[in-house]
Protein backbone atom coordinates (compact mmCIF):
# COMPACT_ATOMS: atom_id res chain seq x y z
CA UNK A 1 0.00 0.00 0.00
CA UNK A 2 1.47 3.35 -1.04
CA UNK A 3 1.73 6.23 1.40
CA UNK A 4 1.15 9.83 0.33
CA UNK A 5 4.33 11.05 2.01
CA UNK A 6 6.53 9.20 -0.50
CA UNK A 7 5.07 11.37 -3.28
CA UNK A 8 6.80 14.40 -1.73
CA UNK A 9 10.30 12.90 -1.52
CA UNK A 10 13.28 14.62 -3.14
CA UNK A 11 16.72 13.00 -3.17
CA UNK A 12 20.15 14.63 -3.38
CA UNK A 13 23.49 12.87 -3.84
CA UNK A 14 27.21 13.71 -3.71
CA UNK A 15 28.02 17.39 -4.35
CA UNK A 16 24.36 18.36 -4.52
CA UNK A 17 24.01 17.62 -0.80
CA UNK A 18 26.31 20.53 0.05
CA UNK A 19 24.42 22.82 -2.33
CA UNK A 20 21.10 21.82 -0.78
CA UNK A 21 22.41 22.30 2.76
CA UNK A 22 23.67 25.81 1.99
CA UNK A 23 20.57 26.97 0.13
CA UNK A 24 17.99 25.35 2.39
CA UNK A 25 19.43 25.29 5.92
CA UNK A 26 21.19 28.62 5.44
CA UNK A 27 17.85 30.46 5.53
CA UNK A 28 17.23 32.46 8.72
CA UNK A 29 13.74 31.04 9.24
CA UNK A 30 14.91 27.40 9.45
CA UNK A 31 15.31 25.94 12.95
CA UNK A 32 16.54 22.36 12.88
CA UNK A 33 16.74 19.40 15.24
CA UNK A 34 19.43 16.89 14.29
CA UNK A 35 18.96 13.32 15.55
CA UNK A 36 22.10 11.25 15.03
CA UNK A 37 24.57 8.79 16.55
CA UNK A 38 27.39 9.71 18.90
CA UNK A 39 29.43 6.57 18.41
CA UNK A 40 32.93 5.56 17.36
CA UNK A 41 32.24 5.82 13.62
CA UNK A 42 34.39 8.68 12.22
CA UNK A 43 31.43 9.74 10.07
CA UNK A 44 29.44 10.65 13.20
CA UNK A 45 30.61 14.25 12.76
CA UNK A 46 30.11 14.62 9.00
CA UNK A 47 26.44 15.64 8.83
CA UNK A 48 26.55 17.58 12.11
CA UNK A 49 29.51 19.63 10.85
CA UNK A 50 27.81 20.32 7.52
CA UNK A 51 24.58 21.52 9.14
CA UNK A 52 26.24 23.49 11.93
CA UNK A 53 28.12 25.52 9.32
CA UNK A 54 24.85 26.85 7.92
CA UNK A 55 22.54 26.77 10.96
CA UNK A 56 24.67 27.98 13.85
CA UNK A 57 22.53 28.57 16.94
CA UNK A 58 19.38 27.66 14.99
CA UNK A 59 20.33 24.01 15.43
CA UNK A 60 19.69 21.64 18.33
CA UNK A 61 20.85 18.06 18.69
CA UNK A 62 19.74 14.72 20.11
CA UNK A 63 22.55 12.18 19.81
CA UNK A 64 22.31 8.47 20.52
CA UNK A 65 25.12 6.52 22.16
CA UNK A 66 24.52 2.84 21.35
CA UNK A 67 25.62 0.58 24.20
CA UNK A 68 26.30 -3.13 23.69
CA UNK A 69 28.31 -5.60 25.76
CA UNK A 70 31.89 -4.72 26.70
CA UNK A 71 33.32 -2.79 23.75
CA UNK A 72 36.99 -2.40 22.91
CA UNK A 73 38.65 0.41 24.87
CA UNK A 74 39.77 2.05 21.64
CA UNK A 75 36.19 2.22 20.39
CA UNK A 76 35.02 3.74 23.66
CA UNK A 77 37.75 6.37 23.44
CA UNK A 78 36.78 7.21 19.85
CA UNK A 79 33.11 7.49 20.82
CA UNK A 80 33.97 9.78 23.75
CA UNK A 81 36.00 12.02 21.45
CA UNK A 82 33.17 12.21 18.92
CA UNK A 83 30.71 13.05 21.69
CA UNK A 84 32.91 15.89 22.93
CA UNK A 85 33.25 17.30 19.43
CA UNK A 86 29.48 17.13 18.92
CA UNK A 87 28.96 19.06 22.16
CA UNK A 88 31.35 21.71 20.88
CA UNK A 89 29.53 21.90 17.55
CA UNK A 90 26.05 22.11 19.10
CA UNK A 91 26.15 23.55 22.63
CA UNK A 92 23.33 22.24 24.78
CA UNK A 93 22.81 19.10 22.71
CA UNK A 94 21.70 15.93 24.49
CA UNK A 95 23.59 12.64 24.28
CA UNK A 96 21.44 9.70 25.34
CA UNK A 97 22.62 6.11 25.89
CA UNK A 98 20.56 3.40 24.21
CA UNK A 99 21.02 -0.26 25.19
CA UNK A 100 20.95 -2.54 22.16
CA UNK A 101 20.50 -5.78 24.13
CA UNK A 102 18.79 -6.51 27.44
CA UNK A 103 20.20 -8.58 30.28
CA UNK A 104 18.90 -11.72 28.52
CA UNK A 105 20.62 -10.68 25.24
CA UNK A 106 17.24 -9.98 23.63
CA UNK A 107 17.32 -6.94 21.27
CA UNK A 108 15.63 -3.98 22.94
CA UNK A 109 16.99 -1.09 20.85
CA UNK A 110 13.61 -0.25 19.33
CA UNK A 111 11.98 0.16 22.72
CA UNK A 112 14.88 2.20 24.06
CA UNK A 113 15.06 4.65 21.14
CA UNK A 114 11.30 5.12 21.29
CA UNK A 115 11.65 6.08 24.95
CA UNK A 116 14.52 8.50 24.23
CA UNK A 117 12.62 10.27 21.45
CA UNK A 118 9.38 10.27 23.44
CA UNK A 119 11.08 11.89 26.44
CA UNK A 120 12.88 14.54 24.40
CA UNK A 121 11.26 17.97 24.22
CA UNK A 122 11.35 19.27 20.66
CA UNK A 123 11.46 23.07 20.61
CA UNK A 124 8.28 24.74 19.41
CA UNK A 125 10.27 26.82 16.91
CA UNK A 126 11.53 23.70 15.10
CA UNK A 127 10.77 23.80 11.37
CA UNK A 128 12.87 20.81 10.26
CA UNK A 129 14.07 17.53 11.72
CA UNK A 130 17.09 15.74 10.24
CA UNK A 131 17.75 12.08 11.03
CA UNK A 132 21.36 11.18 10.30
CA UNK A 133 21.29 7.40 9.84
CA UNK A 134 25.00 7.16 9.00
CA UNK A 135 26.33 5.59 12.20
CA UNK A 136 23.11 4.11 13.58
CA UNK A 137 22.26 0.42 13.63
CA UNK A 138 19.10 -0.71 11.82
CA UNK A 139 17.40 -1.52 15.14
CA UNK A 140 17.78 2.14 16.19
CA UNK A 141 17.57 4.10 12.94
CA UNK A 142 14.41 2.54 11.48
CA UNK A 143 12.23 2.99 14.60
CA UNK A 144 13.61 6.52 14.97
CA UNK A 145 12.68 7.28 11.36
CA UNK A 146 9.16 5.98 11.86
CA UNK A 147 8.59 7.99 15.04
CA UNK A 148 10.08 11.22 13.68
CA UNK A 149 8.23 10.94 10.37
CA UNK A 150 4.92 10.53 12.20
CA UNK A 151 5.75 13.51 14.43
CA UNK A 152 6.64 15.72 11.45
CA UNK A 153 3.60 14.76 9.40
CA UNK A 154 1.26 15.50 12.30
CA UNK A 155 2.74 19.00 12.72
CA UNK A 156 3.65 19.98 9.17
CA UNK A 157 7.40 19.88 9.90
CA UNK A 158 9.88 19.01 7.13
CA UNK A 159 11.63 15.66 7.68
CA UNK A 160 15.02 14.81 6.18
CA UNK A 161 17.11 11.65 6.26
CA UNK A 162 20.82 12.11 5.60
CA UNK A 163 23.55 9.50 5.16
CA UNK A 164 27.31 9.98 4.78
CA UNK A 165 28.18 7.02 2.59
CA UNK A 166 31.42 5.04 2.85
CA UNK A 167 30.91 1.51 1.47
CA UNK A 168 34.46 0.43 2.29
CA UNK A 169 34.05 1.35 5.96
CA UNK A 170 30.60 -0.24 6.10
CA UNK A 171 32.07 -3.52 4.83
CA UNK A 172 34.42 -3.57 7.84
CA UNK A 173 31.61 -3.22 10.40
CA UNK A 174 30.17 -6.55 11.54
CA UNK A 175 26.48 -6.78 12.41
CA UNK A 176 25.05 -8.67 15.38
CA UNK A 177 22.10 -10.72 14.10
CA UNK A 178 19.43 -12.10 16.38
CA UNK A 179 18.77 -15.81 16.81
CA UNK A 180 15.57 -15.73 14.72
CA UNK A 181 14.05 -13.49 12.04
CA UNK A 182 12.02 -10.60 13.40
CA UNK A 183 10.64 -7.29 12.17
CA UNK A 184 12.34 -4.04 12.99
CA UNK A 185 10.19 -2.30 15.59
CA UNK A 186 7.56 -0.15 13.90
CA UNK A 187 7.77 -2.01 10.56
CA UNK A 188 6.03 -5.31 11.24
CA UNK A 189 3.11 -4.54 8.90
CA UNK A 190 -0.24 -6.26 9.14
CA UNK A 191 0.97 -9.86 8.88
CA UNK A 192 2.48 -11.00 12.20
CA UNK A 193 3.21 -14.58 11.09
CA UNK A 194 6.57 -16.30 11.62
CA UNK A 195 7.35 -16.49 7.91
CA UNK A 196 10.70 -14.83 7.27
CA UNK A 197 9.47 -13.03 4.16
CA UNK A 198 6.60 -11.50 6.10
CA UNK A 199 9.04 -10.20 8.68
CA UNK A 200 11.21 -8.21 6.32
CA UNK A 201 10.80 -4.44 6.97
CA UNK A 202 9.74 -2.21 4.08
CA UNK A 203 11.34 1.25 4.18
CA UNK A 204 12.44 3.65 1.48
CA UNK A 205 14.83 6.23 3.00
CA UNK A 206 15.24 9.66 1.47
CA UNK A 207 18.88 10.64 1.11
CA UNK A 208 19.48 14.40 1.09
Q: Which residues contact 91 (CB under 8 A, 6 or more apart)?
A: none
Q: Is 63 within the bounds of a domain?
A: yes
Q: Is 135 within the bounds of a domain?
A: yes
Q: Is 207 within the bounds of a domain?
A: no
Q: Is 100 within the bounds of a domain?
A: yes
Q: Is 171 within the bounds of a domain?
A: yes
Using CA atoms, how far apart are residues 3 and 24, in angstroms rounded to an integer? 25
Structural domain total, the chain: 1
Using CA atoms, how far apart are residues 1 and 195, in angstroms rounded to an integer? 20
Q: Is 206 within the bounds of a domain?
A: no
Can you give the pLDDT of all 208 residues of the chain as single tens digits?
445 666 677 888 888 999 999 999 999 999 999 999 998 888 899 999 999 999 999 999 999 999 887 778 888 899 999 999 999 999 999 999 998 888 887 888 889 999 999 999 999 999 999 999 998 988 899 999 999 999 999 999 999 999 987 656 555 555 555 555 544 555 555 444 443 333 333 333 333 3
Q: Is 204 within the bounds of a domain?
A: no
Q: Is 9 within the bounds of a domain?
A: yes
| Domain CATH code at residue 137 | 3.40.50.620
Structural domain that includes position 90: 4-199
Amino acid sequence: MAHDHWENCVAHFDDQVGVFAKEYFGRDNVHCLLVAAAGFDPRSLTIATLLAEHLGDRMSGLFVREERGTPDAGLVEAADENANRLRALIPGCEIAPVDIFGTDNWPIAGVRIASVIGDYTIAEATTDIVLDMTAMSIGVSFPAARLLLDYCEERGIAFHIMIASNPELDDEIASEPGDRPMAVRGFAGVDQSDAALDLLPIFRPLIT
